[in-house]
Chain A
Amino acid sequence: MTQATKTDVLIVGAGPVGLFAVFELGLLDLKCHLIDILDRPGGQCAELYPEKPIYDIPAWPVISGQGLVDRLMEQISPFDPQFTFNRIVAGLERLPDGGFRVTTDEGEAFEAKVVVIAAGGGSFQPKRPPIPGIEAYEGKSVFYAVRRMEEFRGENLLIVGGGDSALDWTLNLQPVARRLTLVHRRPEFRAAPDSVNKMLALKEAGKIDFQVGQVRALSGENGMLKSAMVKGPDDEVEIACTRLLPFFGLTMKLGPVAEWGINLNENLIPVDTEKFETSEPGIFAIGDINHYPGKLKLILSGFHEAALMAQAAKRIVHPNEKVVFQYTTSSTSLQKKLGVVG
């Protein structure tokens, strides 16, 4: 069995609410480890709207998504939270001592007394393009990520998309593919201009093909692709291909949390409004992923939920300690934890 990383509280999701939970738990001397499928903290704030303004964070008349994440990271730094990025939580089992063992898709294991699900709209996963029948080819000749470039050697490769992933993989896989065609809806690209220029140079040199259009249909047998029908601005063209890599961005899915035996209500997790605990004792849910009467999907509501959850988590992790309610403004013991007094 993999050696487990031990922590007091394991937080699933490093969005704004998961991050602020570190602060509230930290004031109560609880150590946190966060797991997120993205490669950095911030969740939707970092992935969907880093530059967009948020107007309803108390005391910030306006702050950008990334600005909020940066300040939360600064605010929780005294508590030294640990992060594991690029991982999706896969398994959860209850340990004999009442804690939990949580495993990731890459096999890492964590042991915690308390699990907090702060997974927002769910985990970000590659979006399936709207091509009829694509499911039959997935995992055999259609892939949403490149794990090993060698798997594409000698293949007739079709890459679809106009962002950085599509362009980067076009540049990287061109030398190993037998033939590579890039398909995008329009001649303009979202990807970095440098990548676009490199791609255009490959096209000029006749090393790749570029087709403007949208993939409408696939044909093949037993999951193995033979060709794709691409509808361009004027006509439809059939492109022979043995592998397809669609890069249509990310969508949010609840993922394996749905298998944890927690009661769910339309992909949301019902909780009580005293502790924000789920139907499973010791597992809490805060932020956009939970539901209760009157729930509002606001970041500030998630912050409130984090504060109340922390009180309940403290009683689980340190059942024999008396919890004294204190203010950061006046409590020297809290100020010591924050590192603002000696």
Chain B
Amino acid sequence: MTKLTFIAFDGATFEVEAENGSTVMENAIRNGVPGIEAECGGACACATCHVYVDEEWTDVVGQPEAMEEDMLDFAYEVQPNSRLSCQIRVRDELDGLVVRVPERQA
């Protein structure tokens, strides 16, 4: 199991044990993290599971692919560390990953 930490916009912290191969979005939904809507269910088609990857983790998590970049155009307050959490797959190297939830989704 891989440990993930979600920090909601109001500062509430959610530490969850995630299975490798699942997406960061799925773990947010499963654990009721507020502010992750995932309207399209993980198809990279809606930009409502937007998160900010903690600066210390951006290199490990990596950059979005072109399709995800396109979708991020629809997100709110996009930053260089913005990702759609449905496109981040949990793996061993992400153990300890911290992501922040933006003020609102698109």
Contact = CB atoms under 8 A, between A and B. Distances in A.
User: Dominant SS at the B interface?
Assistant: loop
A48 B106 CA distance: 15
B106 A130 contact: yes
Contacts of A248: 73-74, 106
A121 B70 contact: no
B39 A121 contact: yes
Contact of B43 (A52, A162, A186, A214): A52
B104 A49 contact: no
A184 B74 contact: no
A249 interface: yes
Given A48-B45, A48-B46, A163 B39 contact: no
Interface string A108-149: 000000000000010000010010000000000000000000
A248 B106 CA distance: 9
Interface string B86-106: 000000000000000000101
Interface string B61-96: 000001001101110111000000000000000000
A137 B74 CA distance: 20
A10 to B, nearest CB: 27
B40 interface: yes
Closest 6 CB pairs of A and B: A48-B45, A130-B76, A190-B70, A49-B43, A249-B74, A52-B43
B45 A188 contact: no
Nearest to A163: B73
> Do most interface residues of chain A lie in helix, strand or loop, or is the interface mixed?
loop
Nearest to A214: B78
B39 A130 contact: no
Interface residues of A, number: 20
23 contacts: A48-B45, A48-B46, A49-B45, A52-B43, A130-B76, A130-B77, A130-B104, A130-B106, A161-B73, A162-B70, A163-B73, A184-B73, A185-B72, A185-B78, A186-B69, A186-B73, A188-B69, A190-B73, A248-B73, A248-B106, A249-B73, A251-B106, A252-B39
Interface in B14-72: 39-40, 43, 45-46, 66, 69-70, 72
The interface centre, meaning the residue of A130, A162, A248, A252 with most chain B CB atoms within 10 A of its CB, is: A130
A91 B12 CA distance: 44
A44 B104 CA distance: 23
Given A127-B106, A130-B104, A48 B43 contact: yes
Interface residues of B, number: 16
Contacts of A44: 40
Nearest to B66: A188
A293 B99 CA distance: 34
A49 B73 contact: no
Contacts of B77: 130, 214
Interface string A234-258: 0000000000000011011000000
Nearest to B82: A185
A49 B40 contact: yes
A132 B74 CA distance: 16
Contacts of A184: 73
A29 B6 CA distance: 54
Nearest to B74: A249
A210 to B, nearest CB: 15
Given A48-B43, A162-B70, A249-B74, 8 more contacts: A48-B46, A49-B45, A52-B43, A130-B106, A185-B73, A190-B70, A214-B77, A251-B106
Nearest to A166: B73
B44 to A, nearest CB: 8
A109 B81 CA distance: 50
A214 B77 CA distance: 8
Contacts of B78: 185, 214
A196 to B, nearest CB: 13
Contacts of B66: 188
Nearest to A252: B39
A249 B74 CA distance: 7
Interface string A160-195: 011100000000000000000000111010100000
Contacts of A186: 69, 73
